[in-house]
Amino acid sequence: MNNKKLLVLAGDGIGPECVQQALRVVDWFGRNRSLAFDIEEDLVGGAAYDVHGTSLADTTMQKAVDADAILFGSVGGPKWDGVPRDLRPENGLLRLRKRLDLFANLRPATVFPALAEASSLKTELVSGLDIMIIRELTGGVYFGEPKEITTLPDGSKRAVDSQIYTTREIARTARVAFDLARQRGNKVCSVEKSNVMETGVLWREVVSEIHRDEYPDINLSHMLADACAMQLLRAPKQFEIIVTDNLFGDMLSDEAAMLTGSIGMLPSASLGAPDAQGRRPALYEPCHGSAPDIAGQGIANPLAEILSFAMLLRYSFDLVGEAVLIETAVERVLDAGLRTGDIMQPGKTKVSTGAMGDAVLAQLDALAA
C-alpha cells in the first residue's frame, strides 16, 4: 500500500510549536503501528507572506490538492495587521477552504471529565457535554459577491458583504449533518435567521426537504441563531448536532468551545465531497487561533492539534481505533493532573508544550503495552 500523503502547514503564532508535538504523535504511529505517512511541510499565513509575499504560494496550493490530508496549525498575528486583505494570513486559509471545496466543517465541543470544572458554566450543565457543530464553510457572507467598500459622491463610504446560499450548498451540508446523526445521537438542530433573512428561509426549507425525503428517521428541529446562542448557555446538553451557515457557525462554535473550559482543547475537520475513488479533500486544524501573545514561549496547549490528528485518522482514513487511542491518551494525561497554562486549575501540575507532548506519548506507550 502506498503511504498516505500528509501536508503539514504549521503557520503562525503557536501553530508551529503545537504542530511539532502533533508530529511526535504521527511519528509514534509510524514506529508502533506501522502507520507511515509521507510528510511534507510548507508555509502558510504570515510565515508564507514573509517569504513569498502571499499567504499561500501556488506551489503550496498544488501540494494541498495532491495531499490525502492536511494538518494545519494556525495563521495570523499583529505583525501582518497592515497587509491588504487579499494577502492577509487568514486569506491563505480561506483560499484553501475554497479551492479544495471544504464545505463541511466539523467542530466538536466535548467536555473532558477532568476539565468540567474549568467551564464558565456550572459543572452539572456541562459535564458529559458532547456537541458537534457542522458549519457550512465555503459559502455565505464569507465569499458572496459583491464584497466591497465604495466611496459615495459625498465622500463617505459604503460597505457591502453578500450573504448568498444555493439549494445545493445547503443540501450537501445538511446531508453531512444527517449522516453523522445516524452514527451519534440521531438528533439534528438546524440554525438560521429565517425571521429576517432570505438565506435563512431557504436554509430551513432545504434542510426540511432533505430530512423528509432522505432522513425521516432523524429527529430534526429548527432554531433561530440568536435563540441558539442563548440556549447553548442555558442548557447546552439539549443539543447533539447543530448544522448552520458559515457566519453563524463561526460564532456559535466559539461559544460552544468556551463551554468546554478551553478552546485550547478543541480540534476540527474541514471536509470536501468524496471523488469517484472515495478520496475526500480534508484539512484538520485546532479551533484556537495563533495566540500571538504567548507564541514562542513553549507554554501553548498542543492538545487541540494532537486531537486534530486523531480526527484526521478517523475521518480521512477510517482509523477509528487509532483515533480513540489518541483521545484516551489525552484524557489520561488530563486525569493525571497535567495542565498547560490555559487550562490550569488549583492543585494541578503546570507543564510546558513539550512536556504535554511527552505525557501524551507516555500514555500512548502505556496504552499500547
Chain residues binding ligand IPM by CB under 6 A are 90, 93-94, 250
Given 250, 284, 315, 342, which residue is catalytic? 250
Nearer to Mg ion, 207 or 287 (CB): 287
User: Does 226 qualify as catalytic in the annotation?
Assistant: yes
User: Does 254 qualify as catalytic in the annotation?
Assistant: yes
Return the C-alpha torsion angle 348, 354, 359, 362, nearest 10. -160
Grid cell locating 53: 509575499
| Cis amide leading into 146 (omega within 30) | yes
Backbone angles phi, psi at 173, to 5 degrees: -70, -40
Nearer to ligand IPM, 74 or 316 (CB): 74
Place of cell 456537541: 131
Nearer to ligand IPM, 165 or 215 (CB): 165
Strands 144-151 and 187-192: unpaired
Nearer to ligand IPM, 135 or 211 (CB): 135
Residue in the shown chain whose Cβ atom is closest to ligand IPM:
90
Grid cell locating 334: 488530563
Residue 342's binding partner among ligand IPM, Mg ion, none (Cβ under 5 to 8 angstroms by kind) is none
Nearer to Mg ion, 17 or 250 (CB): 250
Residue 126's binding partner among Mg ion, ligand IPM, none (Cβ under 5 to 8 angstroms by kind) is none
N-term to C-term CA, the chain? 26
Q: What's the min distance (Å) between Cβ of 333 and ligand IPM? A: 25
Q: What's the min distance (Å) between Cβ of 289 and Mg ion? A: 8
Nearest of 200, 199, 93 to residue 138 by alpha carbon? 93
Nearer to Mg ion, 136 or 250 (CB): 250
Q: What's the min distance (Å) between Cβ of 106 and Mg ion? A: 14
Nearer to ligand IPM, 48 or 334 (CB): 48
Backbone angles phi, psi at 144, to 5 degrees: -60, 140
Given 38, 66, 86, 226, which residue is catalytic? 226
Given 49, 142, 165, 315, which residue is catalytic? 142
Which helix (H) or strand (E) element contains residue 344?
none
Provide the 3-class DSSP secondary structure of residue 283. strand
- The stretch among 73-81, 84-92, 249-257, 334-342 that binds Mg ion (CB under 5 A) is 249-257
- The stretch among 43-51, 199-207, 243-251, 319-327 that binds Mg ion (CB under 5 A) is 243-251
User: Does 165 qualify as catalytic in the annotation?
Assistant: no
Q: What's the min distance (Å) between Cβ of 102 and ligand IPM? A: 11
Grid cell locating 30: 509510524
Q: Which of 250, 285, 305, 327 binds Mg ion (CB under 5 A)?
A: 250
CA angle centred on 96, ends 133 and 39, rounded to 5°: 100
User: Does 142 qualify as catalytic in the annotation?
Assistant: yes
Return the C-alpha torsion angle 161, 167, 172, 177, nearest 10. 80
Backbone angles phi, psi at 191, to 5 degrees: -125, 130
Q: How many residues lie near Mg ion (CB under 5 A)?
A: 1
Grid cell locating 88: 492577509
Q: What's the min distance (Å) between Cβ of 94 and ligand IPM? A: 6
Amino acid (1-letter code) at residue 260: T
Q: What's the min distance (Å) between Cβ of 194 and Mg ion? A: 23
Given 12, 49, 165, 193, which residue is catalytic? 193
Alpha-carbon distance 12 to 349, whole Å?
27
Q: What's the min distance (Å) between Cβ of 287 and ligand IPM? A: 7
Residue in the shown chain whose Cβ atom is closest to Mg ion:
250
Nearest of 359, 355, 299 to residue 326 by alpha carbon? 359
Residue 90's binding partner among Mg ion, ligand IPM, none (Cβ under 5 to 8 angstroms by kind) is ligand IPM
Given 4, 254, 350, 358, which residue is catalytic? 254
Nearest of 311, 279, 319, 285 to residue 65 by alpha carbon? 279
- Asked if 36 and 3 count as a contact pair (C-beta separation under 8 A), the reply is yes
Active site residues: 142, 193, 226, 250, 254
In the complex, the residues that contact Mg ion under the rule CB under 5 A are: 250
